[in-house]
Amino acid sequence: MKIERVELIHIRLPLVGTFRTSFGSMPEKDTFLLRVITGDAEGWAEFAGDPEHLYCDEFAASAELVLRDHLIPRVVATGDVSVARVGPAVEAVKGHPLAKAVLETAILDAELRGYDMSLATYLGSVHDRVPSGVSVGIMDTIPQLLEAVSGYLEQGYVRIKLKIEPGWDIEPVRMVRREFGDDVLLQVDANTAYSLTDAEQLRKLDEFGLPMLEQPLAEDDLRGHAELAKLVHTPICLDETINSARDTATAIELGACRVVNVKPARVGGYLEARRIHDVAAANGIPVWCGGMLETGIGRAANLALAALPGFVLPGDTSASGRFYAEDITEPFVIEDGHLPVPTGAGIGVDVLDDALVRYTVARRDLYSHR
């Protein structure tokens, strides 16, 4: 497969409401799509990062630079490109997993479309639909939170995840439990907002029967998570700490987690995400698929991953309408608490040209074969 062109498409989609976490607020999704054109097909992928490096140390401008000047040239130099060659070709470039992920995914999409094979089939997925959870951001008031949760439950979501931070943790959880009962699958996500000295405060979450407490401490504090796991009964779930299958094995061995959140972009792509799934499954550790406010491009690929057998917990695979009044693909709609896994070739969805035009800020070639 010869790569003829790689195009970056900068897009901005307004969110239906500002999404707030412990590290910042987002009124819109400002990112880029990568389009890889070969002689046989074209592939699409979505950069999962943001314009600023608040969630992680990668951001859109840095990703564009490393793609243009380092990653794409190395991959193109392999000649007959296949997804199996992408990892070895870019291994010498340290870091930049989000940039590597968007390139690998676009190439994988193009390759699978050429074979008329779905990503779900390629990964080894075993389900045709996956349970849908929703992530609820930090809000100004408890009544506002309760109204939002009520709306999501009425829409059929089978799991509610509350973002928390110091000062917005115990009381929001208590009130959601009181309002909606113990039968609601409720979990919390701290996005690294706490330290080990907050163990006493975090232990107060134990009374609510949560299936997990996600990433309470800093991403590099593996020892701290292992210590915290001894002090609280709520299972610790690691997210930002997990960047590879090796990290997963280490965290499990140290007792730092009992659940793993797999975000394909954060770990460098869907091939590494599948390896993380395999390591966790071999150790009896449940995994679930996290989200990064993806458009339909990223959401489609995540659904294929979430259909693997080890993904036994509902993930952040919410309906398109959770974030966007209009998506750049046909919208994903929740039915009976689930979303369908795309079965078409590649990621299984196509970009809607008219919508893409409306939300495109700029387009530029990162590579073109002359």
List the catalytic residue out of 29, 100, 161, 263. Answer: 263
The CATH code of domain 121-340 reads 3.20.20.120
Per-residue pLDDT of the chain (370 residues; tens, 9 = 90+): 899 999 999 999 999 877 666 556 778 899 999 999 998 899 999 999 877 766 677 899 999 999 999 999 999 999 889 999 999 999 999 999 999 999 999 999 999 999 999 999 999 999 999 999 999 999 999 999 999 999 999 999 999 999 999 999 999 999 999 999 999 999 999 999 999 999 999 999 999 999 999 999 999 999 999 999 999 999 999 999 999 999 999 999 999 999 999 999 999 999 999 999 999 999 999 999 998 889 999 999 999 999 999 999 999 989 998 889 999 999 999 999 999 999 999 999 999 999 999 999 999 999 998 6
Residue 263 falls in the annotated catalytic set = yes
List the catalytic residue out of 161, 163, 204, 230. Answer: 163
Tens-digit pLDDT profile for residues 25-68 = 778 899 999 999 998 899 999 999 877 766 677 899 999 999 99
Structure tokens at 363: 């387009």
pTM: 0.94
Q: Are 253 and 279 in contact (CB under 8 A)?
A: no
CATH architecture of 3-116+353-368: 2-Layer Sandwich (3.30)
- Cα 266 → chain centroid: 8
Structure tokens at 209: 């029967």
**DSSP secondary structure code for residue 346 in this structure:** B
Rounded to an integer, what distance in angstroms lies between the CA atom of residue 220 and that of residue 231? 19
> What distance separates the 2 farthest-apart alpha carbons in the chain?
64
Residue 2 falls in the annotated catalytic set = no
Domain ranges of the chain: 3-116+353-368, 121-340
